[in-house]
C-alpha cells in the first residue's frame, strides 16, 4: 500500500468547490491503494478543465489534444504493456470531439481505464452544452434550450459489450477510488463515468441535485446480466445508480492479436530478420 503524499501537491487552475478536486482525491487514493508508484503509471488526457488533472499529481503524462486522449493512450499501451495506462477528460472531450475514438476504444478493448469527468457542460470554454447535457437545458450557446437528445455513455458502453462499465460520483470519493481500482484490475477497456458538478457553469446538475438522486448499487445487482445492465445504464432522472453497471470478459486487444505482446520500445531492428523479409522479393 502506497502513501497518498507520494503523489504530491500541486497548485490547480480549477474553480474552488469544483467536483474535479474530489476526483483527484479519488485517483490518488486508488493509486495508493493499488500501490502503483508515480513512475509506473501514465496518464493521457485531452483538453478541458478535466483534462488538466494529470498535471496535479505526480505521474508520467501526455496531455494531448481536445478529444484525443484515447488514441495516444492505446498507442502507448500497445508498445509498452508494463505501463498502467489511464485516460482522463471531460464529457465534451470524450463524447463530443472524441466520440469516434470512444466508440473505437470500446470495440478495440486495449487494457486501460478511461475516467470521464461528466459535468454535462463545457467548462473551459465557459458553459456551452456538451453531448451529455439534458434536453431543454439553457446555455448562452443554446438560448432556446438544448434540442439534441442526451448522449448516454454508459448505455453505449454496455451496448458495445465493454469489459467494465461503471458510474462514480465526485461526492463519494471512497466509492470512486474503489471503482478506479476495479477498472484497473479488469483486463481490457474500462469506463468510469463520473458525475462531476461544475459549480460555475452548470446550475442544474449541482452537488445538491445529485445528492438527492444518486444511490449505490448493492450486492443484489448482477453486473454480468446484460439486460439488467442496459436498464441501469439508462436510469438517469429521479434516481441515478452508481457502482459497477456492467462486466464482461472479452479478450483484450493484446491477448487477441498475435503480433502484440512484450515491450516494443527501444528495440533496434534485427538486420537478419529484415534481410529475410527483403529477400522474399527476390
Residue numbers of the site for ligand SF4 (CB under 6 A)? Answer: 14-15, 18, 20, 49, 119, 123, 198-201
The answer to whether the CB of 62 falls within 8 A of the CB of 44 is yes
Q: Is the Cα dihedral 30, 69, 234, 203 positive or negative?
A: positive
CA 190 – CA 87 distance, rounded (Å): 10
Residues 6+ apart with CB under 8 A from 218: none
Residue 209 grid cell: 441535485
Residue 77, SS3 per DSSP:
helix
Figure out which of the listed residues 19, 48, 71, 72 binds ligand TPP, where binding follows CB under 6 A: 48
Figure out which of the listed residues 60, 80, 125, 200 binds ligand TPP, where binding follows CB under 6 A: 125
Count CB-CB contacts under 10 A for residue 85: 25
Burial (CB count within 10 angstroms: exposed 0-12, middle 13-18, buried 19+), residue 238: exposed
Smallest distance from the beta carbon of 208 to another protein, in angstroms? Answer: 32
Q: Does 127 bind ligand TPP (CB under 6 A)?
A: no
Q: Does 93 bind ligand TPP (CB under 6 A)?
A: yes
Q: Does 66 bind ligand TPP (CB under 6 A)?
A: yes
Smallest distance from the beta carbon of 127 to ligand SF4, in angstroms? Answer: 8
Smallest distance from the beta carbon of 25 to ligand TPP, in angstroms? Answer: 17
Q: Does 49 bind ligand TPP (CB under 6 A)?
A: yes
CA 168 – CA 180 distance, rounded (Å): 9
Q: 14 is in the binding site of which of ligand SF4, ligand TPP, another protein, none (Cβ under 5 to 8 A by kind)? A: ligand SF4
CA 282 – CA 113 distance, rounded (Å): 46
The answer to whether the CB of 50 falls within 8 A of the CB of 196 is yes
Q: 161 is in the binding site of which of ligand TPP, another protein, ligand SF4, none (Cβ under 5 to 8 A by kind)? A: none
Q: Does 137 bind ligand TPP (CB under 6 A)?
A: no
Residue 86, SS3 per DSSP:
strand
Q: Does 50 bind ligand TPP (CB under 6 A)?
A: yes
DSSP 211-232: HHHEEE--TT--TT-HHHHHHH
Q: 101 is in the binding site of which of ligand SF4, another protein, ligand TPP, none (Cβ under 5 to 8 A by kind)? A: another protein
Between the two ends of the chain, the Cα-to-Cα distance in Å is: 58
Figure out which of the listed residues 19, 69, 72, 123 binds ligand TPP, where binding follows CB under 6 A: 123
Smallest distance from the beta carbon of 63 to ligand TPP, in angstroms? Answer: 11
Pairing of β 164-169 and β 240-247: antiparallel
Q: Interacting stretch for ligand TPP, rule CB under 6 A, among 80-88, 113-121, 153-161, 172-180?
A: 113-121
Q: Does 64 bind ligand TPP (CB under 6 A)?
A: no
- Which of 122/189 has CB closer to ligand SF4? 122
The answer to whether the CB of 74 falls within 8 A of the CB of 110 is yes
Residue 79, SS3 per DSSP:
helix
Q: Does 241 bind ligand TPP (CB under 6 A)?
A: no
Q: 199 is in the binding site of which of ligand SF4, another protein, ligand TPP, none (Cβ under 5 to 8 A by kind)? A: ligand SF4
> In the complex, which residues of this chain contact ligand TPP (CB under 6 A)?
47-50, 66, 89-93, 117, 119, 121-125, 130
Amino acid at each position: 500500500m502506497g502513501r497518498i503524499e507520494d503523489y504530491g501537491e500541486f497548485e490547480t487552475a480549477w474553480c474552488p468547490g469544483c467536483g474535479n478536486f474530489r476526483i483527484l482525491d479519488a485517483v490518488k487514493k486508488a493509486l495508493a491503494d493499488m500501490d502503483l508508484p508515480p513512475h509506473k503509471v501514465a496518464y493521457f488526457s485531452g483538453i478541458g478543465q478535466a483534462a488538466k488533472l494529470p498535471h496535479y499529481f505526480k505521474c508520467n503524462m501526455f496531455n494531448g489534444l481536445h478529444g484525443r486522449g484515447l488514441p495516444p493512450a492505446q498507442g502507448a499501451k500497445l508498445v509498452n504493456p508494463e505501463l498502467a495506462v489511464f485516460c482522463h477528460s471531460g464529457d465534451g472531450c470524450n463524447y463530443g470531439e472524441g466520440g469516434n475514438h470512444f466508440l473505437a476504444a470500446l470495440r478495440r478493448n486495449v487494457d486501460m481505464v478511461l475516467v470521464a469527468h461528466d459535468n454535462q457542460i463545457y467548462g473551459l470554454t465557459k458553459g456551452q452544452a456538451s453531448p451529455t447535457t439534458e434536453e431543454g437545458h439553457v446555455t448562452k450557446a443554446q438560448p432556446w434550450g438544448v434540442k439534441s437528445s442526451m448522449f448516454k455513455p454508459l448505455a453505449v458502453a454496455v451496448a458495445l459489450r465493454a469489459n467494465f462499465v461503471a458510474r462514480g460520483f465526485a461526492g463519494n470519493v471512497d466509492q470512486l477510488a474503489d471503482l478506479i481500482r476495479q477498472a484497473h484490475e479488469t483486463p481490457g477497456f474500462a469506463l468510469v463515468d463520473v458525475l462531476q458538478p461544475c459549480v460555475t457553469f452548470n446550475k442544474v446538475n449541482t452537488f445538491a441535485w445529485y445528492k438527492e438522486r444518486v444511490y449505490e448499487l448493492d450486492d443484489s445487482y448482477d453486473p454480468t446480466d446484460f439486460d439488467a445492465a442496459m436498464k441501469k445504464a439508462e436510469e438517469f432522472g429521479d434516481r441515478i445508480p452508481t457502482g459497477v453497471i456492467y462486466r464482461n470478459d472479452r479478450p483484450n486487444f493484446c491477448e487477441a492479436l498475435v503480433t502484440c505482446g512484450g515491450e516494443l520500445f527501444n528495440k533496434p531492428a534485427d538486420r537478419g530478420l529484415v534481410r529475410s523479409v527483403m529477400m522474399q522479393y527476390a
